[in-house]
Structure 1
Amino acid sequence: MLLSNSEQTKAVVRLVKELSEKYKIPLNNERVESLRGVYSHTQAKKKWGGSIYLDGKDFDPGEPYMKAVLDT
């Protein structure tokens, strides 16, 4: 699980903050349909459907990870 790797999580937080500042991307994931923010694959999949070949657990770190990235 990605949350158990604190160094990787810190690096992701730094990168997300840097890119959000550079490209003026809001650090929230409240309204996926706005296309403005940082969203997980699962959030997009729930809104617009997804691949029948991929399970969210295969490629998405999950909501706890997204919360940690956005709230840090």
Structure 2
Amino acid sequence: MNWNKFVWTVIGIILAVTLVLEFTYLAGYDSHWWNKIPAFYAIYGFLCCIAIIYFAKFLSKNIVKRDIHYYD
């Protein structure tokens, strides 16, 4: 079996198992107010990714400045 095909098969199985667990085992799990908001974790993840990108840009421009001949 091709290694790439094996990896994608394992990822697909893990995805299927987590989806089944999400909709069966954790279906009634509303212990926090944000669990009632549809797609909260998708929006939260997207906003955190945007924040990480802008924070990395800030770090690279303001804190981790290197001279153009730093590695010479």
**Given the two structures, how large is their TM-score scaled by the length of structure 1?**
0.31
Query: If the length of structure 2 is used for normalisation, what is the TM-score?
Result: 0.31
Which has more helix, going by share of residues?
Answer: 2
Higher relative contact order (Cα pairs below 8 Å, separated by 6+ residues) = 1
Larger Rg: 2
